[in-house]
Amino acid sequence: MSRKAYRMVQKTDVVVGYRTYVDLLEEVISSDQEIFSTGMKGEVERAEKAIEFSGNGKDVAVVSSGDPGVYGMAGLIVELVEKRGLGIEPKIVPGITSASAAAASLGAPLTNDFAAVSLSDLLTPWKKIKERLAGAAEGDFVTALYNPRSKKRKEQIEIARKIFLRHRNPKTPVGIVRSAKRGKEEKTIVVLDTMLEPEIDMLTTVIIGNSRTYVAGDTMVTPRGYEL
Ligand SMILES: C[S@@+](CC[C@H](N)C(=O)[O-])C[C@H]1O[C@@H](n2cnc3c(N)ncnc32)[C@H](O)[C@@H]1O
């Protein structure tokens, strides 16, 4: 969390969020604060409830993991407020997105141009995701894959790997970080060829290096371009 987010969550009357994330805030939230949490896919319900609380004069914190503006709740709240002409001004407090958290654990893989692609096709058509993967691969962007594989959605990461193999060396380093900076972090550095061997799930961020990314010891680094 950013320090500002930590302080903001402590100050509000109500905290709204996905159950798992609210549980992670145990040390931040006090018993005086009201909690509204739901399970997965309850985003619209949570946003509407937050707006309702706000309309009743309460200060509300809507929490996401990482950064709320990166595949998080910020966009949904802003869209709903704007579409309904509610006249509320949501404050978006930045956090630390998984790509940054995972990169810090791996070394410095994002030191040059990078792209982020979510492999979840719940809200974006799979055809569009494949086009974006191809663009990132062809453009030699280091690429952070969010939502890489779920229990039901296993094929997308395999297709993503094939798309990258069309443009990148099979020995390109790939960093895989699970639960980055959450205590039970697991990380591994493999190569594009073998990137499907380690366990990858919805708590994981995968970072595929660019043509210049290399591994030094147990770190993965993408040169910025300095002559050393
Ligand atoms: C819906 S996105 C939310 C992203 C979040 N707003 C952010 O900025 O990191 C969920 C995906 O983020 C990634 N993620 C979230 N927390 C993570 C963590 N602690 N370690 C690794 N990946 C994480 C995973 O790829 C997960 O499937």
Dihedral pair phi/psi, residue 163, rounded to 5°: -60, -45
Range of the domain at 11: 3-83
- 211 in a domain, yes or no? yes
Alpha helices in 107-207 (DSSP H): 126-138, 155-167
Give me the pLDDT at residue 105, please. 98
Answer yes or no: is 74 within a domain.
yes
Number of domains in the chain: 2
Which of 51, 83, 115 terminates a domain? The answer is 83
How would you write the pLDDT of the chain (228 residues) with one tens digit per residue?
999 999 999 999 999 999 998 998 989 999 999 999 998 889 999 999 999 999 999 999 999 999 999 999 999 999 999 998 888 899 999 999 999 999 999 999 999 999 999 999 999 999 999 999 999 999 999 999 999 999 999 999 999 999 999 999 999 999 999 999 988 999 999 999 999 999 999 999 999 999 999 999 999 999 999 999
Identify which of 156, 203, 206 to mutate to test ligand 1's pocket (most ligand atoms within 8 A of the CB): 203
Q: What CATH number does residue 176 fall under? A: 3.30.950.10
Q: What is the pLDDT of residue 87?
A: 85
- 120 CB near ligand 1 (under 6 Å): no
What pLDDT, on a 0 to 100 scale, did the predictor assign at position 40? 82
How many Å apart are CA 18 and CA 195, to the nearest integer?
Answer: 30
Kindly report the pTM of this predicted structure. Answer: 0.96
Residue 213's SS3 state is coil
Domain end point (choices 83, 117, 145): 83
Decide: 98 in ligand 1 pocket, CB within 6 A.
Answer: yes
* Last residue in a domain, options 53, 83, 113: 83
**Is residue 115 within 6 Å of ligand 1 at its C-beta?**
no
Order of all β-strands in the sheet with 107-108: 107-108, 219-221, 214-216
CA of 73 to the centre of ligand 1 (A): 13
Shared domain for 108 and 176, answered yes or no, is yes
Q: Is 180 in the pocket of ligand 1 (CB under 6 A)?
A: yes
Amino acid 147: pLDDT: 97
pLDDT in tens, 141-190: 999 999 999 999 999 999 999 999 999 999 999 999 999 998 899 999 99
The pLDDT assigned to 130 comes to 98
Write down the pLDDT at residue 86.
84
- The finding on whether 205 has its CB within 6 A of some atom of ligand 1 is yes
Biggest distance spanned by C-alpha atoms of the chain? 60
pLDDT for 39 equals 86
Same domain for 61 and 106, yes or no, is no
Residues 126 and 213 in one domain: yes
CA of 59 to the centre of ligand 1 (A): 26
> Cα of 211 to ligand 1 centre, how many Å?
25
Assigned domain for 139 exists: yes
For residues 129 and 214, state if they share a domain: yes
According to the model, what pLDDT value does residue 174 have?
Answer: 98
Q: Which are the contacts of 123, defined by CB distance < 8 A and separation ≥ 6?
A: none
For residue 32, the model assigns a pLDDT of 94
